[in-house]
Amino acid sequence: MGKSVLEIENLRTSFRIKDNYFAAVDGVSLTIYENEVVAIVGESGCGKSAFAHSIMGLHDLKRTKLEGKINFKDQNLLNLSVAGLNKVRGKDIGMIFQDPMTALNPLATIGKQIEEPMNYHMKISAAEKKKRTLELLRRVGIKNEQRVYGQYPHELSGGMRQRVVIAIALACDPVLLLADEPTTALDVTIQAQIMDLMKELQSEIKSGIILITHDLGVVAEMADRVAVMYAGELVEIAPVREIFANPLHPYTRSLLNSLPSSMGEKEKLHVIEGIVPSIQNLDRVGCRFAPRVEWVPEEEHEANPQLHEVQPGHFVRCTCYKNFSFPEEKKVGEENYVTT
């Protein structure tokens, strides 16, 4: 592994609901290295966006409490003022949001929006800015870049808009890219094109990438490592091949098991029984996934499972995985998902 670009230590992000704070991200530690893609996976409501927004400093601090450390370039981002954070945001760290329409300003031209972070972070002339912007548009696969430069977001298709959002994220050569479900709001055919673009860029740029997605096919194709999140905690972290070949935590196994079967049962999705608890109703004592694994006898559950390393680089928050078998577990072999 290369140099680390971001070190997150024991991050806790809590939202105020009435008079109490409830953690949506609950003690997450994760290091991202140069040049690697780390996928964060988990069902809706597990805390993935709360995690990404904490790194970008996007939470409303009047109702959000952030604890722990997010070390980036020798400083803890959580200690920075808004001005300090603005120096990092959009320059060293670029973010690609789920919905390109809300990420863009409807009243500004595409050209101006890509140039905005450059105004802030780069001392270059107007002509250089325009040149760079046109190059970025080409780089994200927009061929008629001169025309698009002067257009407004509503004049573009959803896929084109997401390409623009990616160009903005890349505008100042970030060392870290954060993509929160970058294709969820797009049509299926466009999703594939945007993921192809992300893959292409991944091999060109040197930055670390945090890719939040629920698409395990995308994970298999793009990620180097996978971090599985459940109810605000990371329950398993492993290299991508290892996650598919040897998933250990019951939550990871149920996620993989909920993939449509490749053996003809395409229509049927094996969903995991139960739901992710809300942050107010979450029992924070003991294993958070236990209520959803009814087939494991009560006494076999671990009281307070901690993440521990079972093989180099493979961490799992469970010790009792050896003692149960998953009902109707499908054989999820890496050959099905890993293409490289």
Ligand X SMILES: Nc1ncnc2c1ncn2[C@@H]1O[C@H](COP(=O)(O)OP(=O)(O)O)[C@@H](O)[C@H]1O
40-48, 71-79, 132-140, 148-156 -> range binding ligand X (CB under 6 A): 40-48
Minimal distance, residue 65 CB to ligand X, in Å: 11
Distance between CA atoms of residues 162 and 167, nearest Å: 9
DSSP string, 150-169: T--GGGS-HHHHHHHHHHHH
Print the binding letters for residues 49-88 with ligand SF4: x by CB under 6 A, - otherwise. Answer: ----------------------------------------
**List 28, 39, 50, 118, residue binding ligand X (CB under 6 A):** 50
Binding mask 257-296 for ligand SF4 (x = CB under 6 A): ------------------------------x-xx--x--x
Position 133 contacts ligand X (CB under 6 A) = no
First to last CA, the chain: 18
Which among ligand SF4, ligand X, Mg ion, none contacts residue 289 (Cβ within 5 to 8 A by kind)? ligand SF4
d(Cα 230, Cα 46) in Å, to the nearest integer?
5
- Look at residue 43 and give its three-state secondary structure: coil
Burial of 198: CB neighbours in 10 Å, binned 0-12, 13-18, 19+: buried
Residue in the block written with tokens 């094996």:
270
- Does 275 sit near ligand X (CB under 6 A)? no
Cβ proximity to ligand SF4, 77 vs 287, nearer residue: 287
* Number of Cβ within a 10 Å radius of residue 31: 17
Site stretch for ligand SF4 (CB under 6 A), options 27-35, 195-203, 215-223, 314-322: 314-322
In angstroms, rounded to a whole number, what is the distance separating the alpha carbons of residues 210 and 13? 18
Residue 302 interacts with ligand SF4 (CB under 6 A): yes or no = yes
Binding partner of residue 305 among ligand X, Mg ion, ligand SF4, none, CB under 5 to 8 Å per kind? ligand SF4
* Residue 259 beta carbon to ligand X: minimum distance, rounded to whole angstroms: 18
Coil/strand/helix, residue 240: helix
Check residue 227 for interaction with ligand SF4 (CB under 6 A). Answer: no
Q: Say whether residue 320 binds ligand SF4 (CB under 6 A).
A: yes
Position 75 contacts ligand X (CB under 6 A): no
255 near 228, Cβ under 8 Å?
yes
Residue number, 130 or 214, with CB nearest to ligand X: 214
Q: Alpha carbon of 77 to those of 56, 68, 85, 94, 207: distances in Å?
A: 9, 10, 7, 15, 18
Residues between 245 and 264 that touch Mg ion (CB under 5 A): none
Q: What's the chain's length in residues?
A: 340
Least Å distance between CB 135 and Mg ion? 31
CA gap 194, 163 in Å, rounded: 7
Residue among 186 and 229 whose Cβ is closer to ligand SF4: 229
Q: How far is the CB of 231 from ligand SF4 (least distance, A)?
A: 11
CA atoms within 13 A on the CB side of 31: 10
Using an 8 Å Cβ cutoff, are 274 and 292 in contact?
Answer: yes
- Which residues of the chain form beta strands (DSSP E)? 4-17, 20-33, 37-41, 64-72, 75-76, 93-96, 176-180, 208-212, 225-230, 233-239, 308-311, 314-316
User: Toward ligand SF4, which CB reaches closer, 224 or 302?
Assistant: 302
For Mg ion, the binding residues (CB under 5 A) are 48-49
For ligand X, the binding residues (CB under 6 A) are 15, 17, 24, 42, 44-50, 278-279
For ligand SF4, the binding residues (CB under 6 A) are 249-250, 287, 289-290, 293, 296, 301-302, 305, 318, 320-321
